[in-house]
Chains A and B, each alone.
Chain A
Amino acid sequence: MDIFSFVNFFLLPGVVQGSIYALGAIGITLIYAIMRYGHFAHGDLATFGAFTALFVAGLLGLSPYAALPVAVVVAALLAIAIDWLFYAHLRRMPKIITTIASFGVALMLRSVVQIIWGVDTTSYTRGISRPENWFGIRVKPHELVTLLVVIGLVIALHLFLTRNKWGKAMRAMSDNPDLALLSGIDNNKVIAMTWVIAGGLCAASGFFLGLNTELRSLMGWNILLPTFAAAILGGVGRIEGAIVGGLVVGVTEELSVLVIPSEYKMLSSFAILLVVLLLRPTGLFRGKIL
């Protein structure tokens, strides 16, 4: 295998898939950092975001790209609503209860998607998109957009967390919740902000998953395992870890096809999860223990 086929058939698709995982994993990691539970409805929230973009694009006759911001906003608001309806009154209880509740929310979201949009496979655009050839590197336009938008979102999030007063308050709450309260930081506002960011990024991950593959009612549920693997590999609570973890999981999945049948791709994220939990449960960037 020459270097070009390695990049074109394994590395690039892996990086694209990995950046989709990264968007989801950032949300999982943020939610854990602030609220200390694993959020299992994350995948189905991504599905909902993907279908919302499809709906908006169809309704207004827009390109799916133009529908993305709408889907991000809708998913962010939905995430706040879900927190308010289902998670808020469980806050003082053991965290495992909220984790299980999020499982229930996942099933509800999936059913809503299936009732509204059915269970058939669909896609944003018809026909085959032709890759552009850049000196032997073949990139499809939607892959390029995926990478650019993910990079943009990650930079925006980084700037928010390091420059903005409320972004710093989020980090403070993750770092030392008791001291954050003693400093007068409003817990509820930080939680709401966490849902806006996690929900928005989640919709973006669903959208790009749909753009690069296809839309199905189980699409989000199916990426939940690799997304969690990415968050845990990076170190739970570590944004930079979620990004690196996402990329590693994505690329490993693509490379695994060299040694195992492609239907078993998913096994690689399971294997990563297992190895990390056994050998280095705090992940690459020394996160919290899930």
Chain B
Amino acid sequence: MSALLKMKSIRAGYGEADILYDVSMEVAEGEIVAIVGPNGAGKSTAMKSIFGLLNIRSGTITVGGRDITGWSPNRIVNAGVCYVPQVQNIFGEMTVHENFEMGAFLRKGDFSASLDRVYALFPDLKAKRKTIAGSLSGGQRQMVAMGRALMLDPKVLLLDEPTAGLSPKYMEQIFKICRDVRAAGVAILLVEQHAKQALAFSDRGYVLAAGRNRHEGSGPALLADRHIAEMFLGG
């Protein structure tokens, strides 16, 4: 398997302060990869660093072998990496359909095939296409957010805590959608608070702590490791 998205020895932070000291990870085609770890480990920061949303001091980020370190978000989006932030990830005053149109903003010409694919992934939203996105339930809003990011047909989708604040029922649904998205040929890198559930359904996982890689391995292997479970996954 070849690495689609690769972070190598990233040191990064906001302003003067560093948050990530040495983080490396990669996502291959067709993989679901979870980043887990305690609060303040730098999980979301690691994801944001891919998207150039903080200052990278050293290290490189590549997509399909192309160096994208320090690129502006709209070039990164064009390179095939789309990002769903944890909060404020939809246009709350616009309709569901308009959210998807904005997701396709950079595309020239017809994007009806992507739109059909997104509605096929989220059939619930098809009936709500004219509804103002901000009035939807939490789970449906998360679907709108993912749908918006999928409109550019990315190769890798970055999800920052997609199940935060959702009921267990919606959590299962979001995980199922992740598998459907993967089946449609999009690799996924996600940050999760619900570490056990996330590792159980991911192909691989990274455990971060204090801005550094601590462990990595297949989801089930990390889950089976008693030491990791005690230290990082809440027993």
Mark A residues whose CB is within 8 Å of B.
165, 168-169, 171-172, 174-176, 178-186
Contact = CB atoms under 8 A, between A and B. Distances in A.
Given A172-B105, A182-B74, A183-B103, 8 more contacts: A169-B105, A172-B94, A178-B88, A179-B91, A180-B102, A182-B51, A184-B73, A184-B74
B120 interface: no
A117 to B, nearest CB: 42
Given A168-B94, A171-B93, A172-B91, A178 B74 contact: no
B89 A179 contact: yes
A168 B98 contact: yes
B88 A176 contact: yes
Contacts of A168: 94, 98, 101-102
Contacts of B101: 165, 168
Given A179-B88, A179-B91, A185 B105 contact: yes
A95 to B, nearest CB: 19
B93 A183 contact: no
Contacts of A169: 102, 105
21 contacts: A168-B94, A168-B98, A168-B101, A168-B102, A171-B93, A171-B94, A172-B105, A174-B93, A175-B93, A176-B92, A178-B85, A179-B85, A179-B89, A180-B91, A181-B73, A182-B83, A183-B103, A183-B148, A184-B106, A184-B152, A185-B102
Contacts of A172: 91, 94, 98, 102, 105
B91 A184 contact: no
Q: For chain A, what secondary structure do more than half of its interface residues adopt (helix, strand, loop), or is it mixed? A: helix
Nearest to A168: B98
Interface in B62-106: 73-74, 77-78, 82-83, 85, 88-94, 98, 101-103, 105-106
Interface residues on B, range: 20 to 34
Contacts of A184: 73-74, 77-78, 105-106, 152
A156 to B, nearest CB: 19
A180 B89 CA distance: 10
Given A181-B73, A181-B74, A184-B78, A176 B90 contact: yes
Interface of B: 51, 73-74, 77-78, 82-83, 85, 88-94, 98, 101-103, 105-106, 148, 152
Given A183-B148, A185-B102, A185-B105, A175 B89 contact: no
Contacts of A178: 85, 88
Contact of A183 (B51, B88, B102): B102
A186 B88 contact: no
B91 A175 contact: yes
B94 A175 contact: yes
A264 to B, nearest CB: 38
A182 B106 contact: no
A186 B102 CA distance: 12
A178 B84 CA distance: 11
A178 B74 CA distance: 11
Nearest to A238: B93
Contacts of A174: 93
Contact of B73 (A165, A171, A175, A182): A182
A176 B78 contact: no
A186 B105 CA distance: 10
A97 to B, nearest CB: 20
A129 to B, nearest CB: 43
A40 to B, nearest CB: 26
B83 to A, nearest CB: 6
Contacts of B91: 171-172, 175-176, 179-180
Contacts of A182: 51, 73-74, 77, 82-83, 85
A248 B232 CA distance: 60
Contacts of B98: 168, 171-172
Nearest to B77: A184
A185 B94 CA distance: 15
A171 B91 CA distance: 9
Contacts of B83: 182
A171 B88 CA distance: 15
